[in-house]
Structure 1
Amino acid sequence: MNIIDVFDRVSGEYDSVGVDFFKPMAEAVIRAVAPRPGDRVLDVGCGRGAALLPAARLVGPTGHVTGIDLAPGMVAHTARATSGARNVTIQLGDAQRPDFPAKSFDVITAALVLFFLPDPPSALTTYHQLLKPGGRLGFSSFAAPDQRYAKTMRILARFAGSPPPERKQHPLFGSVESLRQATSEAGFSRTRVKELDVRSHFRDAAQLVGWIGSHYGRSLLDSVPPDRRAEATQAIADYLDWPTTFTTRIRVVTGDV
């Protein structure tokens, strides 16, 4: 199952299972890039609107936010959720190569998206071309997962018939300096990288496993046979104390045109 298929499959549950994770991370990107009234914003890989919705509130009725995603389910759900908003457009579109004229936007946001792309440096260069003079880019990536999350995923993998291969991350996501350098090389000035922690709370193992199945972790969960999932959930329940909190460190990167 490829990345688009995974996100299409989880689109109904994504960011909707009662766990604070994607929303606070996306809101950190919006705070950093600070859309203003009247701005035209492009949100690439918009998902269920974690960054798009706060951006739409900030640009107001004189601005506009366009969200693109390659997962049809994400587009359908988010289009329905924003159907009453006159300053929002949701459409199928590729975060690697957004199909818009040069200098179309004041702001581009990409919340936890770039590391999924086949060529992140090329995408950054494209974003620079799509921004007007004075435009701003804001994107985020992971710095460090909670170590107990990594162990939880290894426990799930023990029950998997054929776990998916681990994805290799592009070197630009390796450090604060590599992120700053890649953003600068794409043409952006005043590049800044800020690290912050996001805490996510889980009441029990069933909620944690359900949350894993609501995002890209679904690719691993689906490889666990249905008749072994209760056993896998119990193994996770035995590993952690409940309720539990995971702390995830992310990096928020901004740059100016």
Structure 2
Amino acid sequence: MGGRHGGPIDFGRPVVGTVENTEEMYNLFNKTAKAYDQSGVEFFRPIGRRLVEFSGISAGDSVLDIGAGRGAALFPAAAAVGESGEVVGVDISEEMVKYTRRDAEELGLKQVGLRVMNGQRPEFEAGRFDAVIGSCSLFIWVKGADDVRPYLELLRAGGRFATAAPSFFSTAHGKWALFPDAVNELLMPYMLQSLKQSGAYDSQFANAGANWLVTAESIEQTLAEAGFTDIEVIEEELPVVVESGEQWVEFAYTTGMRGMWERIEENERREVIAEVCRRLDALRDENGVIPVPVPIVYMRASAPEVG
């Protein structure tokens, strides 16, 4: 681990296939790791910064970052805890860990440690951390209270849990806010097809009413059932901009959406990409850029105090 326990290290590939969808995520994010969050589109990093701010992490804390990716929340958390604290980032992808470890070493962040680990069931002792966070990661596999409870167990009494996700509130109306409005009806069928083919993620889109992220109230209920207290949920619009439709497609390829693109037959995929670019390029504003704002949901809660 990092900080009080040494520099960034890797503990080897996790056992895959023992938890639903692990192998799919492992392969997908290994493929995207090098380009992940490197497209020039400011998306994951501002979410990570806001999540750390929202979580209330402070100097000296011990923090676990689930699904650390390329460090969008990991590095802001490291700044928040300072040299007297520690941040342990885990990710299922060996490649993500490789690149993020390199970046941490280049930044001289001795308080940062990295492990290759299945974030669905983190292998740490109970009460190990002051805070557990996950930026645009946990929503992929969490379906209900049972999937959140492992993070509660890792927290000390009064410790903080916080996570962020692209808002699913609009799925109740047949949309997912991660897609720009102009291309939502074009891309949603492909996303649904990909979900059904891969089994990688639950289809929150197809059954929005059963999705724990569909309303603030359902999020609060899920976290309360898991045993958390002092729950707060907010939705904020992230002002994402791209220079062209092509840049948005390139950005999408560097995220978990890559799985959707790769399941579209090649000739059809070229046609879909051309249409996405045409629709988005038509939205260029007076400044020459294309606004594609994305609502993000942030949620935080606390582990109960003792007594």
Per the normalisation by structure 1, the TM-score is 0.90
Residue 235 (structure 1) aligned with residue 259 (structure 2): no
Residue 24 of structure 1: which of 46, 54, 66 is its match?
46
Per-residue deviation, 1:114: 1.8
- How far apart in 1 are the matches of 2:163 and 2:68? 12
Q: Which residue of 2 aligns with 1:165?
A: 195
Residue 150 of structure 1 corresponds to which residue in structure 2?
184
Q: Shift of residue 79 of structure 1?
A: 1.0
Give the partner amino acid of 1:147.
Answer: D
Structure 2 residue 130 is matched with structure 1 residue 106:
yes
Counterpart pick for 1:136 among 153, 157, 160: 160
Matched, 1:57 2:75: no
1:172-207 deviation per Cα after TM superposition (whole angstroms, max 9, x unaligned)? 111100101111111111100011001211111221
**TM superposition outliers: structure 1 runs of 4+ over 4 Å:** 225-230
Alignment: residue pair count: 253
1:96·1:120 contact (CA, 8 Å) conserved in 2?
no
For residue 131 of structure 2, give the secondary structure of its aligned residue in structure 1: strand
Supply the distance in 2 between the matched residues of 1:153 and 1:30 (Cα, whole angstroms).
31
Instruction: For 1:101 and 1:165, locate their aligned partners in 2 and report how far apart those are by CA, in whole Å.
Output: 34
Answer whether contact 1:41 1:106 (CA < 8 A) is retained: yes
Aligned with 2:257 (options 208, 217, 228): 217
CA RMSD of aligned residues (A): 2.2
Measure the CA separation in 2 of the matches of 1:9 and 1:62.
Answer: 35
Structure with greater proportional strand content? 1
* Change in CA separation of 1:118 and 1:34 when aligned onto 2, cut-off 3 Å: closer
Gaps of 5+ in 1: none
- 1:51/1:133 Cα in 2 relative to 1: closer, same or farther (>3 Å)? same
Quote the Cα distance in structure 2 between the aligned partners of 1:225 and 1:85. Answer: 43
Query: Alpha carbons of 1:183 and 1:99: their partners in 2 closer, same or farther (altered >3 Å)?
Result: same
Question: Aligned pair in 2 of structure 1 residues 193, 149: CA closer, same or farther (>3 Å)?
Answer: farther
Could you say which residue in structure 2 is the equivalent of 1:194? 234
- Is the contact between residue 121 and residue 186 of structure 1 (CA under 8 Å) also seen in structure 2? yes
Corresponding residue to 1:126 among 115, 132, 150: 150
- Equivalents in 2 of 1:230, 1:253: separation in Å? 38
Shift of 1:116: 1.3
Question: Shift of residue 148 of structure 1?
Answer: 2.6
**Secondary structure of the equivalent of 1:18?**
coil
Tell me how far 1:92 sits from its aligned partner: 0.8
How far off is 1:225 after superposition?
Answer: 4.5
Alignment gaps of 5+ in structure 2: 1-22, 171-176, 197-201, 205-209
Moved more, 170-179 or 110-119: 110-119
Change in Cα spacing, 1:38 to 1:149, as seen in structure 2 (3 Å) is: farther
Three-state SS of the structure 1 residue aligned to 2:273 is helix
- Greater shift, 241-250 or 4-13, is seen at 241-250
Q: Secondary structure at the match of 1:179?
A: helix
1:80 positional shift? 1.0
What is the alpha-carbon distance in structure 2 between the residues aligned to residue 149 and residue 13 of structure 1? 23
Q: 1:87 to 1:46 in 2, by over 3 A?
A: same
